[in-house]
Amino acid sequence: MLCLGIETSCDDTGVALVDGRRLLANRAASQADLHAVFGGVVPEIASREHYRLLAPLYQACLTDAGVSPSDVDVVAVARGPGLLGSLLTGVSFAKGLALGTGARLVGVDHLHAHVLAAALETEISYPAVAVLISGGHTNLYIMRSELELELVGRTLDDAAGEAFDKAAKALNLPYPGGAVMDRLAAYGQVDTAMFPRPYLDNQNLDFSFSGLKTAFALHIAAREGLATERLVEATELQSEEGARRVLGESFQEIADICASYGWSIADTLRIKTSRALERMGERPQAIILAGGVASNTTVRRLLKEEANARGLAFIAPSPMLCTDNAAMVAYAGSRLAEAGLCHDLTLEAVPRGRKVPRDYVACA
C-alpha cells in the first residue's frame, strides 16, 4: 500500500511516501530561520510558507520515488493538534489530492504519528510505555499495539520543549533553543542541586514545568550580565571555539547551567516514566521515546538507563524522525488504512487544545 503523508502542523512542511515500513521518499522544508528573528513561530507566516512549499515538495517526492499520482493508494495528513491555519493548509491540499486521484483519505493525529515514528526503523514489541516530548506536548502513553494508545499523563501547563526554548530565550540564545542548550550542555558539568525537578511531590503521572521556568528565570536574574547583550546567531555556536568566542567569560557558567537545567527536565521525565512502568497491569516490553525533544542527549541517556535497568528495550527514532516530519504521518496513515479506517471529505482540522476525535469511517 503506497501512502503519501503530509505534515503542516506547525512550522515544518513535509511530504513523504511510505510503502509498508519502507520509506520511499521524504521531502521537508524548515521555516526555523524565518521565525528565528521573532523568537518563536508566527502562525500567519507559517501558513503562507506551507502554501508556497507543499506543491513543489509533493512533485519532488513523486520524482524521488519514481511514481505517479495515480499510484498513490492513501493520502494521510496531520489533522491536529497544531496551529489551525497551518493544519488547514495541509488538510485542504490532502483533500484536493484525494479528490483528484481517487486515493483514500486518512486524517492522522499528529501525536499518534510521533509515537509511531520509530516503527519505521525498528520493530516494536508491545505493550510499551511511550514518552512524547515536544514544544507543545509532554505526554505519557500506554501502548498495547500500534493503534491502541492510552493517555496516562500529560503536561498541565508548559511542555518540556517550551521550557527549553524559553530558557534559551532568557540567555539570548537563538531559536529553537532546545537544540542549542543541548549542544552547550555537552561542555558543561551537571549540578543536580542547581534547579528543582518539578512536580514530583505527588503520585500522579502528569507534568508541570512552569515552576522550573520560574526557578531558571530567578537564577539568571541573580547573575547580572550573564546573558549576551545581543541575540546570538545559531551559526556562531556550531563549534566549541565559536561558542567560547561569542559567550566569552560566561561560556563555562552558561554551559553548566544548560547541563543542569537539561538534567532536571530529563530526570523528571525518567521518574514519571518509571511510575508509569510500575503501574502497568502487564509486563512492559519497551520504553518508546518520541517528539522533537527526543533528540536531546540527556533525555535519551537517562531513559535508556532506565530501560536497561529494567531489562526493557529502549526505542527512539533517529533525529530526522524526531522533529515534525511527513514520514511518520505516512506510516501512521498506512497503519490506519490497513485497519480499514479512513475519512471522507468532511475531515476537519483540530487546533491545539482540542482532543483529536477518532471519527474514522470504514474505507470504501
Whether residue 133 is annotated as binding a ligand: the answer is yes
Whether residue 35 is annotated as binding a ligand: the answer is no
Compute the C-alpha angle 11/178/353, nearest 5°. 50
Whether residue 343 is annotated as binding a ligand: the answer is no
Whether residue 296 is annotated as binding a ligand: the answer is yes
292: its cell numbers: 522533537
| CA 204 to chain centroid | 23
Whether residue 153 is annotated as binding a ligand: the answer is no
Q: What sign has the CA pseudo-torsion 88, 89, 90, 93?
A: positive
Task: Give the Cα separation of 352 and 136 in Å (integer).
Answer: 8
Task: Give the Cα separation of 132 and 288 in Å (integer).
Answer: 8
Whether residue 24 is annotated as binding a ligand: the answer is no
Task: Give the Cα separation of 141 and 37 in Å (integer).
Answer: 35
Whether residue 135 is annotated as binding a ligand: the answer is yes
What 3-state class would DSSP assign to 241?
A: helix
The torsion defined by the Cα of 217, 218, 220 and 221, in degrees rounded to 10, comes to: 110
Judge whether 115 and 290 are in contact, CB under 8 Å: yes
Whether residue 324 is annotated as binding a ligand: the answer is yes
Query: In 3D, which of 43, 10, 7 has the Cα closest to residue 26?
Result: 7
Task: Give the Cα separation of 222 and 241 in Å (integer).
Answer: 27
Whether residue 50 is annotated as binding a ligand: the answer is no
Whether residue 254 is annotated as binding a ligand: the answer is no
Residues 6+ positions from 281 with CB-CB distance below 8 Å: none
Whether residue 178 is annotated as binding a ligand: the answer is yes
Whether residue 281 is annotated as binding a ligand: the answer is no
Judge whether 328 and 335 are in contact, CB under 8 Å: no
List binding-site positions for substrate. Answer: 132-136, 165, 178, 182, 296
| Bind-site residues for Fe cation | 110, 114, 324
Known binding residues are 110, 114, 132-136, 165, 178, 182, 296, 324
